Structure 1
Amino acid sequence: MAEVPDELIKLERSAEEERAKLAGLTGDDYDAQWRRWREASERCRRPSRCTPRRRASAGTNWSRL
């Protein structure tokens, strides 16, 4: 089984903490917190979606990285 990087674990925990803060909120407060949760969730998922194959197919110049 592959080891999960500490950075990914931190991102996932952050997203989960933001999701938990949605409990009991309504209206504008809920909407604002939902956006914070969504942004944290996107940061968590981004590393796993950006595999070298996808980056290469998107035209990433690996010699500059």
Structure 2
Amino acid sequence: MTKGPKGEKRPADLNRRAFDIVRIASGEAEDATPSAAAQKGGKVGGRARAEKLSAEERKAIAQKAAKVRWGK
């Protein structure tokens, strides 16, 4: 599946995407975009996780990410 501009999942097949749009417009299905409360929860969760980690754990995570990013 491809992702939209806000990270939502979309079918790669254009016919399937058109079918989904028609279903949403006719009221048969609901739009699957995340609500504002869900988006806020993700931001809060990341900060809470960072506060729980020790400096050594944060450093290890950052080093691992840098190796993956620059190791290509």
Query: What's the TM-score, normalizing by structure 2?
Result: 0.30
- Greater fraction helix: 1
- Greater fraction strand: 2
Q: Which has the larger radius of gyration?
A: 2
Structure with bigger RCO (C-alpha 8 Å, 6+ apart): 1
